[in-house]
Amino acid sequence: MRGERLEVGAKRLKIALRAEDRAKALKNLDKRNMQQTNNLHTILTYACEEAGRLGNAEIMPDHMLLGILRLGAGKAFELLMQAGIDPVACKRQIDERLRQAETTQTQKR
């Protein structure tokens, strides 16, 4: 009986240590990873808002791109700038295309 208690206690200790290691690992995330996480959250929020603004029922890749453009920062935005994408012109083209798509779908209903 005592041996079983020791074994259960040892398992609990291992689980507690693993949980402590996970907590330490989370605390040790560098600021860059945290900023990327915050950027992703912001982009997703903006994508939802853009879908609503344009009257779209679903979030599509175009809404994600609008979210990236609206954030105006981060690795994805930097890559777009390096590729020579004009954020204002890109946003305008996406807006027009999504509005046309929504108008077409509304007419079919």
Please check whether residue 25 lies inside any domain of the structure: no
Determine the structural domain holding residue 100 and report its residue range: 30-108
pLDDT at 57: 80
Give the pLDDT of residue 101: 74
Position 7 in a domain: no
Tell me how many domains the chain contains.
1
Is 51 exposed, middle or buried, given 0-12, 13-18 or 19+ CB atoms closer than 10 A? Answer: buried
Would you say residue 17 lies in a domain?
A: no
**End-to-end distance of the chain based on CA atoms, in angstroms?**
72
Is 16 part of any domain? Answer: no
Q: What is the pLDDT along the chain (109 residues), one digit of tens a residue?
A: 445 554 554 555 455 556 566 666 666 656 666 777 788 889 999 999 988 888 878 888 899 999 999 999 988 899 999 999 999 999 999 888 887 876 666 666 5
Q: What is the pTM of this model?
A: 0.63
Asked if residue 14 belongs to a domain, the reply is: no
Token readout for 47 is 């994508």
| DSSP code string of 40-82 | HHHHHHHHHHHHHHTT-SS--HHHHHHHHHHH--SHHHHHHHH
> Does 8 reside within a domain?
no
**Of 57, 80, 106, 105, the residue nearest 67 (C-alpha):** 80
